[in-house]
Amino acid sequence: MKRRIFSATTLGVALACGMSATSAFAQTKWDLATAYPATNFHTENLAQLASDVDKATAGKFKITLHANAALFKAPEIKRAVQGGQAQMGEILLANFQNEWQLFGADGLPFLADSYEASHKLYTAQKPFLDKKLAEQGMKLLYSVPWPPQGIFTKKPLASAADLKGIKWRAYSPATARIAELVGAQPVTVQQAELSQALATGVVEATMTSGATGVDSKLYESLKYYYDTQAWLPKNAVMVNKKAFDALDKPSQDALLKAAADAEARGWTQSAKVNTDTIAKLKANGMSIETPPAALKADMAKVGETMLKEWLEKAGPDGKALVDAYRK
């Protein structure tokens, strides 16, 4: 009988110790959704963030990165983070302009057409983003711009008139509106499907960055790239607020530190990628063109029209944002 009692006691102690060890080494596991390829600089930046968090927490906080729309498609990621299906996600802010106009501020043509101007616009936009995402149960971690946007086409362009009737890939409300204003036919295609859309003739032109041009091998279907430097749309990385609040303080601090590092690294990398990818496009046979004066003037008018329309829809907050940016 004594032996049986001893065994039961030993078993109880062993279980208690096991539970204690499990608790001590319990991991927090998050899913991070993005729509871009693993080789894209935004995705590489996210991978570095996940690695930094892992190291800073000694493996206690693991973030699994799901690239190339493997977990959720681009339009679904924001709602997935908001609803908690993914604790963390990356979106292109301009994609959600129809939901809230200020998401699309950095997609307005020629409002901010350099990295310096883009960062100034981000500084003006950030307080509005923080407030809106908080209202939606999310927290903004950081934001990084794509390289400046240019026009990819199959045929040369002298002016915007040459875009009339062309099948124009749109990926946001702003790019769809540009198509309408120049008389092109907007076709909504996300990046993951862009190569196929070009190969099958669904798309004949697009306005995007050199980085996307290389990622999607646009040189295989399109011949010309007009370096208009029209705008620098930003990706935003956000987290579900409840999931963030549930983290212990060291994990929160590790994530915020990794995010700050990712933002600084991302802005630097974006500028480098811009130079490198234009060189790669050229090396693969694409003709890199400075926009003709008529095309530049036509696109500037498009920008003026879109800013006016945007301000009418965005209301007082939109005006406050633009005024803060232009100070």
Residue 32: CB partners within 8 Å, gap ≥ 6? 46, 50, 63, 64, 65, 66, 86, 87, 88, 89, 90
pLDDT confidence of residue 142: 98
At 32, which helix (H) or strand (E)? strand 28-33
Distance, CA of 159 to CA of 217 (rounded, Å): 25
Q: Are 90 and 33 in contact (CB under 8 A)?
A: yes
pLDDT confidence of residue 16: 47
Return the number of other C-beta atoms located less than 10 Å from residue 16's C-beta: 10
225: which 2 tokens? 């790239």
**Strand 28-33, strand 88-92: pairing:** parallel
User: Model-level pTM?
Assistant: 0.83
pLDDT confidence of residue 25: 57
Residues of the chain with pLDDT under 70: 1-25
Torsion on CA atoms 108, 181, 177, 307, rounded to nearest 10: 30
Q: How far is CA 175 from the centre of its chain?
A: 15
Buried b (16+ CB within 10 A) or exposed e, 251-288: beebbeebbeebbebbbebbeebbebbbebbeeeebee
Q: Which amino acid is at 175?
A: T
Q: Which one, of 92, 119, 46, 126, lies nearest residue 267 by Cα?
A: 119
